[in-house]
A and B are shown apart, each in its own frame.
Chain A
């Protein structure tokens, strides 16, 4: 039997204050950043047009910019792609014009004519009117909040309130921190990224439930122990499973990140980050928070818990 992390007895809960500090700092930075600078939203949410073109032979970013300038599209933002796709460019146009669709075609023509012999191939066009952009933004926020709410209800129903709060806090933490990392690395928040965030939410709670379930199961046998000790036992007993699952999901996400192509890049990056924080948070946010709520509830009842 090949084993890792068997029979561990780590006092996770002892260090929870440090983890609180660390997690709150991360969340705080994310929230402040979110409300001051804000993430870069994709055209899905801002409205506007995104063009992806491939040039053969490869043009330089300056050449593409000159071609656009020469055709009178000065507002466009140009980004050269990296890696194997160096000959590809992303061109973003804000949505202040009503006929963004028509403009996309004119842009392709413009780049084509001004680049001379270079062949310009259109890889992707995304054009979202400001109205739909706003709707999608609202829908995304609604979906995240509603799924958080339902998970809270489900966990509250199947387990106890204190666990539900811990679980949802962990989930929020994971989603926020992942968003923070995305902002920090300058990645765009698009529909696919929101999908990744929701998946992370699902994964995070999945991980948390395994720990909670152990406490529920062992509660009786361990009732003489201190709450924190119970929590530690539960976390330690499920630790190998937590790590192994995180590892296999990480492997899948890694495969998508490395080989999954440009379209899935942001998605799989978010998943990678989310898995790491999800694993950490099921111990240090969900369990730790549930423990503290538990202790304070008992204290209010007059029970000396710790």
Chain B
């Protein structure tokens, strides 16, 4: 064995060892049974999971969201770090919700990308993350003020051109005509009234510092289900910033003790404010407003010095109460967020995908292996070993770089296997040509490698170019595909040019070879 060959051998062994080192955590993690994982120390397990190849959401199931922070209502100073603050709060909420390895990343100016692996209850997660959770305590206007506000609304809608009501009551009193009680609308009228209100410039119709807000969910009043429309003082007495802690609990609603709700404790400052507000407004209703919806509007019976408040409501069940407590603790988002893009993969589809992907990979590899061995015989075996090494290197790189394996990534791996043999095919065909032209075996191998190299290099470069653009363009899974493809092509250059060449040199250096099995 010549000097250079010894170096090459050393190189290949070294690279393979490094690859094995990076592969080992993945091997241990993905072959361990749940019981074995249970037995490990949590820190060790977390470390192992970190070092193992990450599976994309499309493989392990989970939720991926792209949010946009709506800064349209913020002033310049507020808008400046709104995205950062929103991210912080969302991260906080997710942590409290309990998801293993969530990913919250900023994307561009005002977007936030979120990945929640393994999550199954998407609706709950979306509500938890997307809720602005702006909590406000607002005074309900007095009965007289409320009636006056309704009158103004009635007259504005009644005088608006294009009224279609044939009923005189509804024509003259479009709002109160639909109302049963003070502010209570039966279920069937609610959508109509909502639509009416949404179409009007309420700020200019209503008296100053006044707004109307709906109650949370349908409730029964006098045997009829419907919703309340509250007339409120627009300036809040207090906001969610005064809340120190929040906790989900049953028994907060005296009329319905089994119902869940959220009990809040206030900060010392909040306690003082709350005592002052309640003390000054005994006998009036104080509405607890969350994101523009009135959760409840209890009558203040007495000054409340303890600073205890609670949120209850018809639509709050155990999970909703827990989530509400989380968002109240984590604080309100500085601005509303909108979901631009959502991708959820159920766990069953994820495991099906892994199963199918691996199966296709194995069958594809076997077919290629069989073909190469039949067609190129012993040389084919060399190519196959190179291809397998190649696969090991790719997976090790993915593990080492902390890249994510996605389903398109598996496809990339399978395709790379098909293309990996291409390099060897090019070289083998070249060697065969040289043999045919009458050169001896050693020369043919040498020439074959030398001449094929340039072709292989150019062919790889162009494919890598399109891989790079793919990476640039791709989102999530596609990026995974591009990464696998690019790493695969590089690994391929290494194995084909260094490894197989070395094997040939070794083979040919062992005395006279009469016939090259190719």
Q: Which residues of A contact B (CB under 8 A)?
A: 1-3, 52, 54, 101-102, 104-105, 121-129, 131-132, 136, 139-140, 142-143, 146-147, 150-151, 154-155, 158, 191-192, 194-195, 198-199, 201-203, 205-206, 209-210, 213-214, 217, 237-238, 240-241, 244-245, 247-256, 258-264, 267-268, 271
Contacts and interface: CB of A to CB of B under 8 A. Distances in A.
A281 to B, nearest CB: 15
Interface string B471-497: 011110110011001000000000000
Interface string B62-88: 000010000000000000000000000
Interface in B416-464: 417-419, 421-422, 425-426, 429, 432-433, 451, 454-455, 458-464
27 contacts: A2-B375, A101-B339, A123-B345, A123-B346, A124-B343, A124-B344, A124-B345, A125-B342, A131-B340, A132-B66, A139-B473, A140-B473, A143-B472, A191-B474, A192-B408, A195-B470, A195-B481, A202-B462, A210-B426, A237-B433, A248-B425, A252-B368, A252-B418, A256-B364, A262-B356, A263-B58, A263-B353
A57 to B, nearest CB: 16
B341 interface: yes
A86 B469 CA distance: 37
Given A127-B342, A252-B368, A261-B356, A244 B375 contact: yes
B371 A206 contact: no
Interface centre among B359, B414, B417, B432 (most CB of A within 10 A): B414
Given A251-B418, A259-B356, A146 B469 contact: yes
Contacts of B340: 128-129, 131-132
B415 interface: yes
Contacts of A52: 349
Nearest to A195: B478
B361 interface: yes
Nearest to B461: A154
A210 B452 CA distance: 9
Contact of B415 (A131, A198, A209, A249): A249
Contacts of A127: 339, 341-343
B277 interface: no
B360 interface: yes
Nearest to A105: B123
Contacts of A261: 352-353, 355-357, 360, 407
Interface string B179-192: 00000000000000
Given A205-B463, A241-B425, A267-B408, 13 more contacts: A1-B518, A2-B374, A191-B474, A198-B469, A199-B415, A202-B465, A209-B462, A213-B458, A251-B368, A254-B367, A256-B411, A258-B360, A261-B353
Given A124-B345, A146-B469, A259 B408 contact: no
Given A127-B342, A150-B465, A213-B458, A248 B371 contact: yes
Contacts of A263: 58, 349, 353, 356, 407
B348 interface: yes
Contacts, number: 224
Nearest to A52: B349
B406 to A, nearest CB: 10
B467 interface: yes
Contacts of A54: 348
Given A101-B126, A209-B455, A252-B415, A125 B344 contact: yes
A203 B475 contact: no
A162 B426 CA distance: 24
A241 B360 contact: no
B122 interface: yes
Nearest to B376: A2
Given A244-B425, A244-B429, A255-B360, A154 B465 contact: yes
A251 B364 contact: yes
B319 to A, nearest CB: 14
A127 B363 CA distance: 34
B466 interface: yes
A198 B470 contact: yes
A267 B410 CA distance: 12
B358 to A, nearest CB: 9
B470 A254 contact: no
A177 B466 CA distance: 18
A57 B228 CA distance: 42
A42 to B, nearest CB: 12
A195 B408 contact: yes
A124 B349 contact: yes
B478 A203 contact: no
Contacts of B477: 191-192
A267 B342 contact: no
Contacts of A202: 462-467, 485
Contacts of B349: 52, 123-124, 263
Nearest to B470: A198
A108 to B, nearest CB: 9
Contacts of B359: 259-260
Contact of A121 (B126, B348, B368, B461): B348
Nearest to A51: B344
